[in-house]
Amino acid sequence: MRRNTILVTGGAGFLGSHLCDRLLGDGHEVICLDNFFTGTKGNIEHLIDHPRFELMRHDVTFPLYVEVDQIYNLACPASPVHYQHDPVQTTKTSVHGAINMLGLAKRLKCRIFQASTSEVYGDPSVHPQTEDYWGNVNPIGPRSCYDEGKRCAETLFFDYWRQHKLEIKVARIFNTYGPRMHPSDGRVVSNFIVQALKGEPITIYGDGAQTRSFCYVDDLIDGFIRLMNSPKELTGPVNLGNPNEFTIKELAELAIDMTGSKSKLVYQPLPQDDPRQRQPNIRLANDELGWKPIVPLRDGLRLTIGYFERLLSLQSKAVLAPFGI
């Protein structure tokens, strides 16, 4: 395999750090770019001394001048807690970030990958969701900074493909979980595991009957690599996610069972525009990439719970250390 120099924007985030691991493991040189708004150095500290790894603190809303062979554009807050904290900056990250990275790819004549999202489908009226579904998105709601920002980024990618013949790859990512998730990002998997480990009530929004499909991070990253290196005619968008569907209540009960927690379920009102169903149709990924998830939910949760147990233990020791305990 040819060794490439590969830029990963958002490389210190949950998905980005796992992608950096995989690319280095495949023998490539990696430039990890992050402004550390949601990414953390802890996610990539094990890579700092790697001879083929370089870390850059930079915000994609500003132009960047580097020489690379491929670009993975992952930069953007991806959880409602984080992207609603500064919705204007979230939209800028998606739109200005796409413009800047596409401009860089155009100058370098290199292939570029966009980490889009199943949120482009909104609260879907089609189930499961296929790539030709245009979505049901509220353009002025509290989630629209992320939903519409990602939709606009897709528009830019396909306009650069049509107008400038740029080689693009667009992946629509469905719910993904695994080690290095942020413990307070508000996503259901991290929320439920952390609450269960702490013995706190498990917060379910709505009646818990809404469904999600959960893909383990290693499976997703394998999909990224396959899509990036697929024939140039396959631009996407391509759904990447696990089609096995679970209710939110089922996930909460599984988290309690697997952690041995005594936590109880509590119910809160459903947030505005929260989708009732989310399940990918992955026929395109399976047919064109030979890709499908292979990690069962219980196996992935076991690894994720182990990560959060270690993280909470370290946080507890850091709190007690000043008191000599």
Token match 């080690």: residue? 179
Which of 121, 146, 177, 216 does the annotation list as catalytic? 146
Distance of alpha carbon 223 from alpha carbon 217, whole angstroms: 10
Say if residues 194 and 312 touch (Cβ distance below 8 Å).
Answer: yes
Distance of alpha carbon 189 from alpha carbon 177, whole angstroms: 7
Amino acid at 84: Q
Which of 47, 59, 49 lies closest to 20 in space, CA to CA? 47
Token pair in block for residue 127: 């189930």
Is residue 146 among the annotated active site residues?
yes
Count CB atoms within 10 A of the CB of residue 69. 15
DSSP E strands in the chain: the ranges are 5-9, 29-34, 53-57, 70-73, 111-117, 168-173, 176-177, 202-205, 211-213, 215-216, 238-240, 245-247, 265-268
Say if residues 227 and 112 touch (Cβ distance below 8 Å).
Answer: no
- The residues that are catalytic are 146
